[in-house]
Amino acid sequence: MNLTKLLKPDHASVVRAAHDEATCAGALRYAPRADGPIRQSVVLFFWVVLGVLAAPFVLFKRLLTGRGL
Amino acid sequence: MTNESQNVFEVLVIGSGPAGVSSAKALVERGFRVTLLDIGFDDPKAREAIPDLPFSKLRAEDPNQTSYFVGQEAEGVPKGDVKVGAHLTPPRRFVHHRSEELLPSRVRGATLMQSTALGGLGAAWGAGACTYLPEELTAMGLPIDEMNSAYRAVSSWIGVSAPESGAMRWHCGSALSQAQPALEPDDLARSIMSRYDRNKDHFSKLGFDIGLPSMAVLTRDLDSRCANPYYDMDFYGDSRKSVFRPRYVLDNLKKNKNFTYLSSRVCLSYLERDGVIEVRVRNLGTGTEEVLYCGQLILAAGAINSARTVFESMSLDKKAGFSIQTRLLCNPYHYLVGLQLDSFGRELSDRRHSLAQLFGIYRSAGQRTHESAFLAFYSYRSLLHFKLSKEFPFPVAIGQKIAALLSGGLSIVGVHHSDSFETAIDYRWTKNALAPGIIELSYDKHAETQRRRDQKVNEEIHFIQKTLRRLGVFPLSRVAPGPGASIHYAGSLPIGSWTDVDGRVLKSKRVYVVDSSTWTYLPAKGLTLSIMANAWRIAQKLPRSP
C-alpha cells in the first residue's frame, strides 16, 4: 500500500483545476508573484512548522509502506 | 541517375531528424541529388497559435492560453505516472503522434519513445549541445579528428551558444570554435553558481563541476533566426526560431533544385541488386506500398528504426522463425526535485529561458572520463501548477496553493548516467509465421548485473544529492522513470558487428547508417549534436555512385 499514491487527486479534478488555472483569472489566483516576499516567507514558515509537526506521521507512513525509517 | 517521375533517386535519406537533415545538407552541398523521406507529422497551427510574448504576459492576458498550456482536450494533463516525455507540452504532442501504430514494438521493463514527426525527436530537443571528449569518442568507436572537424562545421550552421571558458567549456564545448555567448542564467542558477564559485576548487577535487551550458540556442541573430527573447516559452513554442529545429534545415533544402522531400511514408525494407537499391515504402496517404530505386541509401531513422529496416531487409529471403538479437544503449536517467530556499523573500526576474540553466559533470574517484554522470539544471517556472499539485497527496485546491508557493524556488536536476552494452536494453527482431517483423525491447537483467548498475547509479545520485545541498538546493524527491526514459538511444547496429566506422552496413555496398545506431558506447552527455556531427562526417565521405 502506498498512501501517497492513494491520496493523490483524481484525474478529473486535476483536469478541472488545469482548465481553471489556464485562464487570465486563474493566473492571478495561482501566481506566486501575486504574493509579496514577506507574505511568502510567513507562509513558508507556516509550512515549515506544519512539516515539523507532520514528521512523525510521515515516518509512520514509511513504516506502513514497508520503506523503513 | 535521378528520374523522380520513375521513383529513381541518386541518394535516398530515410528520416528528417537531426541525423537525416545533417547528412542531406552535407550531400546537397557536395552536389548530390538527394531525396529525403519520412513520416513527417507536424502541428504548425498549434505552434502558430502561441503569441510571441513572455509567459507572464500570456498568463495574465491571453484568453486562448488554455489551448497551448493545457490543450483543447486536456492532453497536457497526463494520466498516472509519467514515464517518458514529461516535457512534451500540448503544442509538441505531434512528436510521437501514431508512433505506436506506425512503428510498433513490444516493450517490457522499459519505457521508450519513438518519433513520427517532421524533425524527429529533434522537434522536441531540449537543445543541450555537447561535444564529446577524445576518450568518449574512442569508447564510441568514432574517429576523433573527423568528429572534431564535424563538430565545428555543424555548430557553425545550427548556432551554438556556450561559455567562453571554464570546466563546462572543456567538458561540453571543447571542439566548438565559433560559439555564440552563453545564455544568461536565471536568478536560481546565478545563486547556485555563486555558491559553487566560492568553493570551486573543493568541488573540482571531488570530481564535481558546474557551469553555463552549451546549447543549440541563439544569443545573437543568425541568418533568418533570431536571438532568444528570454520569454520563458521554450517548451511550448519556437519563438523567433531561436532554438534549433531540424525543420529549419529542411525548409532551406527545399529551395535547392537538388533536393526533394517525400512525406507521409514509412520505409519498410531495401534490397540491393545490380548496383541499384530497391526500397519498399508504405505510403500513408494512399495506404499502398511503393517501390523506390536509389543508388545509395542513407538510414537516419533513429537507433530503433534504422535497425528495424536493416533486419527486415536481411530477412527478405529468410523463412519464418528468423530472429536477430542486438542491444539498445540508453542513458539511465533520474531527476531530482529540489527546493532552493534562497529564492524565498526575493523578487525573481521574469526575464529567463525555459531550457537548461546549468550543466554539471560528476566523475567519482576511479571512474574514467567517459563514465562520468551528467547533470542539467532546470527551473521550470513556466510549468503550470496543476502539474505539481497532481503529485501531492492533497486535494487539488490545497496542492495548487502549495505549488504556487514552492514553484518559484524549484530546481529540477536531470541526471544522466553513461551506458555500455553490459547494461543495455535487449533488442530482438523476430519474424514468425503469425506476424512478420516484430521488435521486442526488454530490460530484464541478470541480478548481479542489475545490482552493479544500481550500485553505481545510487552512489552517483547520493553524492549529487549531498552536493546539491551544499549548493543551496535541498532535494525533495528523486524520480526514477525507469530504463529508456532518457530518450537517448544508440548502439543497435554497432561498428564492427553490423557497420563499419563510416556507417556502411557490412553486408551491403551502398547502404549507410548515419544516426547513433553505430555507436559502441553512450556517454552521459546529451547526444544530439554528436548525432548531427557524425551524420555530417559520414556524408562528407560518401563515395560517388559508379
Residue-wise pLDDT for B128-183, tens only, equals: 999 999 999 999 999 999 999 999 999 999 999 999 999 999 999 999 988 999 99
Chain B residues whose CB is inside 8 A of the A13 CB are 395-396
Compare CB distances from B390 to A4, A9, A47 and report the shortest one's residue: A9
**Span B497-501, average pLDDT:** 97
Are A20 and A26 within 8 A, CB to CB?
yes
Q: How many CB atoms lie within 10 A of CB B85?
A: 18
Q: What value does the mean pLDDT of chain A take?
A: 77
Q: How many CB atoms lie within 10 A of CB B374?
A: 23
Are B55 and B382 within 8 A, CB to CB?
yes
Compare CB distances from A21 to B384, B391, B394 and report the shortest one's residue: B384
Percentage of chain B with pLDDT > 90?
A: 73
Q: What value does the mean pLDDT of chain B take?
A: 92
Beta bridge partners of B377: B358, B413
**Span A26-55, average pLDDT:** 74
Mutate to test the interface with A, among B70, B187, B339, B380 (most CBs of A within 10 A): B70
Residues 6+ apart with CB under 8 A from B230: B54, B184, B351, B352, B353
Question: Grid coordinates standing for A36?
Answer: 509579496
pLDDT at A34 over 60: no
**Interface contact B386-A18, CB threshold 8 A:** yes
Compare CB distances from A21 to B386, B402, B405 and report the shortest one's residue: B386
Distance between CA atoms of residues B381 and B378, nearest Å: 9
Distance between CA atoms of residues A37 and A40, nearest Å: 5
The predicted pLDDT at position A68 comes to 63
pLDDT at B449 over 70: yes
B3-12, B35-44, B492-501: segment of lowest average pLDDT = B3-12
**Interface contact A8-B402, CB threshold 8 A:** no
The predicted pLDDT at position B455 comes to 87
**How many Cβ contacts (< 8 angstroms) between chains A and B?**
98
Grade residue B543 by pLDDT with cuts at 50, 70 and 90: very high
Compare CB distances from B344 to A4, A24, A40 and report the shortest one's residue: A40
Residue ranges of chain A whose CB lies within 8 Å of a chain B CB: 3-9, 11, 13-19, 21-24, 27-28, 30-33, 35, 37-38, 40-41, 43-44, 47
Tens of pLDDT, residues B94-129: 999 999 999 999 999 998 999 999 999 999 999 999
Distance between CA atoms of residues B111 and B482, nearest Å: 7
Phi then psi dihedrals of residue B227, to 5 deg: -65, 150
The predicted pLDDT at position A39 comes to 62
More confidently predicted of B178 and B65 = B65
pLDDT at B3 over 60: no
> From residue A9, how far is each of B130, B195, B253, B395, B402 by CA, in Å?
39, 37, 49, 6, 14
Distance between CA atoms of residues A30 and B406, nearest Å: 11
pLDDT at B301 over 60: yes
| E-strand stretches of B191-245 | 208-211
**Interface contact B74-A18, CB threshold 8 A:** yes
pLDDT at A3 over 60: yes
* Among candidate residues B297, B278, B299, the one with its CA nearest the CA of residue B289: B278
The predicted pLDDT at position A36 comes to 58
pLDDT at B2 over 50: no
More confidently predicted of B294 and B365 = B294
> From residue B19, how far is each of A11, B4, B88, B264 by CA, in Å?
38, 23, 21, 19
Are B532 and B154 within 8 A, CB to CB?
yes
Chain B residues whose CB is inside 8 A of the A3 CB are 393
**Span B503-521, average pLDDT:** 97
Compare CB distances from B396 to A14, A32, A38 and report the shortest one's residue: A14
More confidently predicted of A39 and B102 = B102
B118-127, B310-319, B534-543: segment of lowest average pLDDT = B310-319
Question: Grid coordinates standing for B404?
Answer: 504556487
Chain B residues whose CB is inside 8 A of the A21 CB are 70, 384-386, 400
**Interface contact A37-B347, CB threshold 8 A:** yes
**Interface contact A23-B389, CB threshold 8 A:** no
DSSP code for B234: T
Distance between CA atoms of residues B494 and B503, nearest Å: 9
Handedness of CA B188, B190, B195, B201 (dihedral sign): positive
pLDDT at B25 over 70: yes
One-letter identity of residue B88: L
| E-strand stretches of B79-201 | 106-108
Compare CB distances from A32 to B66, B77, B405 and report the shortest one's residue: B405
Grade residue B415 by pLDDT with cuts at 50, 70 and 90: very high
Chain A residues whose CB is inside 8 A of the B74 CB are 15, 18-19
The predicted pLDDT at position B1 comes to 47
Grade residue B5 by pLDDT with cuts at 50, 70 and 90: low
Q: How many residues does chain B have?
A: 546
Mutate to test the interface with A, among B390, B401, B474 (most CBs of A within 10 A): B390
The predicted pLDDT at position A37 comes to 60
**Interface contact A11-B79, CB threshold 8 A:** yes
The predicted pLDDT at position B321 comes to 79
**Interface contact A23-B392, CB threshold 8 A:** no
Question: Grid coordinates standing for B109?
Answer: 521493463
Please, which residues 442-501 of chain B have a Cβ atom closer than 8 Å to chain A?
none
Q: What is the layout of strands, in order, in the sheet containing B373-378?
A: B208-211, B358-362, B373-378, B410-416, B333-340, B473-479
Burial environment of residue B178 by CB neighbours within 10 A (0 to 12, 13 to 18, 19 or more): exposed
Tens of pLDDT, residues B248-259: 999 999 999 999
**Span B76-103, average pLDDT:** 83
**Interface contact B389-A14, CB threshold 8 A:** yes
- Quickly tell me which residue has 509550512 as its cell: A47
Chain B residues whose CB is inside 8 A of the A35 CB are 404-405
The predicted pLDDT at position A38 comes to 64
Compare CB distances from B345 to A7, A9, A37 and report the shortest one's residue: A37
**Interface contact A8-B393, CB threshold 8 A:** yes
